[in-house]
Structure 1
Amino acid sequence: MTRRAALLFCALLLAPAAARADSLMTDLSQRLIAITSSFTGSSILVFGAVVPDGPGKRDVVVVLRGPDQSIRVRKKERVFGIWVNNEALAFEGVPAFYAVAATRPLAEIDAGADFARHQIGLDDLKLRERSANGAEEEKPETPDFRAAIRRLKLGQGLYASPMSPVTFVGPNLFRAEFQFPSNVPVGSYKAEIYLFSDGDLVGANSSALFVDKTGLERWIYKSAMNYPALYGLAAIAIAVGIGWTAALVFRKA
């Protein structure tokens, strides 16, 4: 990783001066997180180099998110002493995983408009509720459902809190490490890297990352997704076979 970061920095230094206005180059330590039967979590390193053009306080913010999913949130209410599901709202485009790293707290960077535009930080993460015809809706109780999604994701370890640090290794090289829990969903992820100068967005970059099952786990997962009926019948047959075999063994014993 150190060699790759050094090559990035050298490329920036060799670039023409006219093209080096706050130059930003980034990369990932790996682009595939392989999930096997012994998977207990993993981590990736986002690193890069910044060559500033002029004075000012530079900040780097990294957002790691994906894959988007649809979620239906139900609200429980107590009716005659029994807790039952009452109202439900459906949300689309909800990131299954979301984490942010920055050189300092987002409030100190003070780039509220850019944070809102690019959904940087949990407070600016847009979780929109949609109706059956696909139109966006804003109901009075929607903020409570949004807060419930964030609370559940935080409890599952899929929304990272507190924020991870972005550290500079020397004056120009930076790095940020992200941890994936064992229950991280498979799919496409994206690392978005933003460069701020005195609170103004002056550069951005992004890299793709994939989380996927490998080996037997991948075959089972793909079978369940692509052929659910056959997968269900096979699961029933296996369960019946195991039960029948166990019955024979205990009968002989």
Structure 2
Amino acid sequence: MRRLCLLLLCLLSPLTARADSLMTDLSERLIAITSSFTGSSILVFGAVVADGPGKRDVVVVLRGPDQGLRVRRKEQVAGIWMNTDAHPFEAVPAFYAVAATRPLAEINAASAFARHQIGLSALKLKVRGLSETSEEASEAVPFRTALLRLKARQGLYPLMTQPVTFVGPSLFRATFQFPSNVPVGSYKAEIYLFKDGELIGANSSALFVDKTGIERWIYKAALNYPVLYGLSAVFIAAGIGWLAALAFRRT
């Protein structure tokens, strides 16, 4: 609420700028994952102070964290399904979603979309060790398509563009939904302002998704001390089994 009030004060103050201005913020900066986490939402809001006529469009991209993934192809070999070809991808966003005031095709800013990777069709999924112009890059196209399909099936790459809604002439808002399997890490909300199809402003805000409480301790232990974590899990399981056997023996 305090951030929204600041935006309103900026709108009501005398304007001396000769160009459009873009002000943005997030409803929260941390999404906490606990044992009862079933998903969450984040609100991206802001204001556009327009100068002069023209059609304004706001596009919001929420993405992160980048990760390396290996996509394999399964084929039947002698009647048995086996992994054959594989391509390692680098800097793949674990989560990627887009919101816009109208469909991206209607904004008519293909060059800006390609430059800033706005939209799934413009998202560059680079194969490690291959340039985009190499002959081998064409062989990776089916693997890129499979990667996008798998991410969409997991709910991490929504296929539908979310709406950006203007509340009045200047204020806008967009809501993104995080599924329960959203990865932890650093995310970034990128907000772009277009005027008649031309990019005239941009802003970004950081967002963090992290585990809290005992879940965070277990996650960090498994990540930083995998051997000790594995041994502890074995000893705990053995201890519980021994106690259960002892209890049933007495009864």
TM-score class normalised by the smaller sequence = over 0.9
- Aligned position for 2:172: 174
The structural deviation recorded for 1:16 is: 4.8
Q: Tell me, in whole angstroms, the C-alpha distance in 1 between the residues paired with 2:14 and 2:153.
A: 45
Instruction: Kindly indicate whether residue 103 of structure 2 is the aligned counterpart of residue 105 of structure 1.
Output: yes
- Aligned position for 1:11: 10
Q: Secondary structure at the match of 2:207?
A: strand
- The one-character-per-residue Cα deviations of 1:43-64 (angstroms, maximum 9, x if unpaired) are 0100000011111000000000
- Aligned position for 1:94: 92
8 A contact 1:100–1:121 mirrored in 2: yes
For 1:116, the aligned partner's letter is A
- Aligned position for 1:36: 34
Q: Which runs of 4+ in 1 moved over 3 A?
A: 134-138
The structural deviation recorded for 1:248 is: 1.2
- The one-character-per-residue Cα deviations of 1:69-88 (angstroms, maximum 9, x if unpaired) are 00001000111111100011
8 A contact 2:131–2:137 mirrored in 1: no
8 A contact 1:67–1:189 mirrored in 2: yes
Q: Tell me, in whole angstroms, the C-alpha distance in 2 between the residues paired with 1:172 and 1:143.
A: 41
Length-normalised TM-score, structure 1:
0.95
- The one-character-per-residue Cα deviations of 1:196-251 (angstroms, maximum 9, x if unpaired) are 00000000000000000000000111111111111111011111111111111222
User: Alignment partner for residue 218 of structure 1, among 216, 219, 229?
Assistant: 216
- Aligned position for 2:242: 244
Q: Following superposition of structure 1 onto structure 2, how do residues 174-193 of structure 1 map, counting pairs within 5 Å?
A: 174-193=172-191
The structural deviation recorded for 1:6 is: 3.6
8 A contact 2:67–2:94 mirrored in 1: yes
For 1:100, the aligned partner's letter is V
Q: Secondary structure at the match of 1:231?
A: helix
Q: Secondary structure at the match of 2:174?
A: strand
Q: Following superposition of structure 1 onto structure 2, how do residues 40-119 of structure 1 map, counting pairs within 5 Å?
A: 40-119=38-117
Q: Tell me, in whole angstroms, the C-alpha distance in 2 between the residues paired with 1:15 and 1:160.
A: 40
The structural deviation recorded for 1:9 is: 3.3
Q: Tell me, in whole angstroms, the C-alpha distance in 2 between the residues paired with 1:222 and 1:17.
A: 51
8 A contact 1:186–1:210 mirrored in 2: yes
Q: Tell me, in whole angstroms, the C-alpha distance in 1 between the residues paired with 2:7 and 2:210.
A: 28
Task: Select between 222-231 and 200-209 the one with higher mean Cα deviation.
Answer: 222-231
Question: Unaligned stretches of 5+ in structure 2?
Answer: none
For 2:113, the aligned partner's letter is F
Instruction: Kindly indicate whether residue 99 of structure 2 is the aligned counterpart of residue 120 of structure 1.
Output: no
The structural deviation recorded for 1:14 is: 2.8
8 A contact 1:12–1:23 mirrored in 2: no
Q: Tell me, in whole angstroms, the C-alpha distance in 2 between the residues paired with 1:15 and 1:190.
A: 31
- Aligned position for 2:202: 204
Q: Tell me, in whole angstroms, the C-alpha distance in 2 between the residues paired with 1:104 and 1:135.
A: 33
The structural deviation recorded for 1:112 is: 0.2
- Aligned position for 1:146: 144
Task: Select between 139-148 and 81-90 the one with higher mean Cα deviation.
Answer: 139-148
For 2:199, the aligned partner's letter is L
8 A contact 2:191–2:202 mirrored in 1: yes
Q: Tell me, in whole angstroms, the C-alpha distance in 2 between the residues paired with 1:5 and 1:196.
A: 22
8 A contact 1:59–1:197 mirrored in 2: yes
Alignment root-mean-square deviation, CA: 1.4
The structural deviation recorded for 1:5 is: 2.3
Task: Select between 25-34 and 75-84 the one with higher mean Cα deviation.
Answer: 75-84
Q: Tell me, in whole angstroms, the C-alpha distance in 2 between the residues paired with 1:62 and 1:217.
A: 31
For 2:61, the aligned partner's letter is V
User: Alignment partner for residue 129 of structure 1, among 122, 127, 130?
Assistant: 127
